[in-house]
Structure 1
Amino acid sequence: MYEKTIRDVLNEIKEGTIKIDDTVDILNNLSYEDIGFAKIDYNREVRKGFPEVIYCEGKTPEQVREIALHMYKRGSNVLGTRASLKHYEALKELCSEAEYFNVARIISIKAEELTPTKGIIGVVAAGTSDLPVAEEAAVTAELMGNTVKRIYDVGVAGIHRLLSKVDELRKFRVIICIAGMEGALPTVVGGLVSCPVIAVPTSIGYGANFHGLSALLTMLNSCSSGVSVVNIDNGFGAAYSASLINKIGE
């Protein structure tokens, strides 16, 4: 494998201190690393602007630890979603830099601090019960180098709470809007702002909510322009898309 880290290569490309032929050779060698139970996609940072993310649910603590440590040693920032405390404890034993975000269920190791964006991602949540998904979105966006502002507990059951934040909402470059129950909040927010709104249905609600299906269908049928929808409880996916939008022109 090539000895330079991904960060070294990216910096040399930006500075123009590396030849095109050399770049192609290096990137080919950075394609992935096979560690037996996983193939780590080191080339993803070059393609997408952020390293491969570890989905921890379903993986053993030992598997998460090995993937994370291989990435960190190669100069990658590490982000693991749907992580349990056991995943974090296994990683913390060998890497003191590891952090755990309990509500978001995220583990992180920073190989390099990213410069916060000028554009702001707004994370807007309907209720306190939606916070695990909202925090997954907010923390993911922050770890990807975005400036994030949270506005929580502003659901349509008390819409005056949301309307008091309209001026703030209109300053965001992109909004992630999270709601369970009937999922009406993203449609309301979409009608108040000009920026893209990424709607996230959550599985919060009573029986006819069908574990988030009713909120998903409401959001898919939104009459507000500029509202897109990710899967149920997928705060990470919303944050990734919001990050790509937010960094255009940065």
Structure 2
Amino acid sequence: MADYPAFRFDWQRKVRTGIPETVMCEGKTDDQIVEIIEHAQERGARLFLSRLDSARAEKVEIKGLDYCPLSRTAIMGGIADLRPDDASVALVCAGTSDLPVVEEARRTFQFHGCEVPVFADVGVAGLWRVMSVAEELSRYRVLIAVAGMEGALFSVLAGLVPGVVIAVPSPVGYGVSKDGAAALSAALSCCAPGVVTVNIGNGYGAAVAAMKMLNSASAGQGD
């Protein structure tokens, strides 16, 4: 195997962007993951790790690693003191099959010190479910919506609430909906305005986008 550099971690990313670098474990060897973690420990830094499956988490065996098998995420250095819900952002999903993506987003917020509420199983196959929480969802400035199958939840939400809707197509479905393809097309084709879309299953990216939106808005208010 070629002799590549082990890694070049971007420790200055938080200074530049407000969001520190995350370790995406998919595609890395166990030794590479351990080396990155040990490097962070030497610096006394916290780390957020994504796409770390349970089998590999057991192999890594790093003490003090807070691991969540549902989201395949790990937090090194402890969960920060969580700020209470201030009606800035909420997570919404169509069905319980979408919870792995939701949990990836929720854990991303937790790593950054935010506790956000989750409204689960409010898909439009039973429209009464989303209507029963529509008034409460209208309180939030940003909604992260996760849905697979035909992805109809994105348009429905954007037509009900004043806040921005970040659509996350979920890799849930079969036939033409397999792997989130139909949900992605639906998200990009929404007739209701105010929907922005991240890639299939990208709960982490949706959470970061929401934080950047809210941080930018807060900075603008301070000018």
TM-score by length of 1: 0.79
* 1:173 Cα deviation from its structure 2 partner: 2.3
C-alpha offsets along residues 183-203 of structure 1, whole Å, 9 cap, x if unaligned? 010111111111111001112
**Which residue does the alignment assign to 1:151?**
119
Say what the alpha-carbon RMSD is for the aligned residues: 1.9
Residue number among 85, 103, 106 corresponding to 2:73 in the alignment: 106
1:124 pairs, out of 87, 92, 100, with 92
Deviation for aligned residue 1:177: 0.2
- Can you give the 5+ residue segments of structure 1 that lack an aligned partner in the other structure? 1-34
Contact kept in structure 1, 2:66 and 2:78, CA below 8 Å: no
Report how far residue 43 of structure 1 moved.
0.7
TM-superposed deviation, 1:246: 2.8
Matched, 1:142 2:114: no
The alignment's TM-score, normalised by the length of structure 2, stands at 0.88
Q: Which residue identity does 2:188 align to in structure 1?
A: L
8 Å contact 1:72–1:78 — kept in the other structure? no
| Residue of structure 1 equivalent to 2:101 | 133
The equivalent of 2:35 in structure 1 is: 66
Unaligned runs of 5+ in 2: none
Aligned length: 214
- Aligned residue in 2 for 1:40: 9
2:44 alignment partner AA = G
Task: Work out whether residues 82 and 115 of structure 2, in 8 Å CA contact, stay in contact via their aligned partners in 1.
Answer: no
Aligned to 1:53: 22
Q: Tell me how far 1:205 sits from its aligned partner.
A: 0.8
- CA distance in structure 2 between the partners assigned to 1:210 and 1:69 by the alignment: 39
Partners of 1:198 and 1:238 within 8 A in 2? yes
Distance 1:65 1:171 in 2: 42
Does residue 249 (structure 1) correspond to residue 185 (structure 2)? The answer is no
Most deviating of 146-155 and 111-120:
111-120
> What is the CA–CA distance in structure 2 between the aligned matches of 1:119 and 1:165, rounded to whole Å?
14
Judge conservation of contact 2:105–2:204 (CA < 8 Å) in 1: yes
Q: Which of the pair has more CA radius of gyration?
A: 1
Which position in structure 1 is the counterpart of 2:155? Answer: 187
Q: What's the CA shift string for 1:144-183, capped at 9, x where partnerless?
A: 2223000001100011011111122012221110000000
**Counterparts in 2 of 1:180 and 1:69: CA distance versus 1, 3 Å:** same
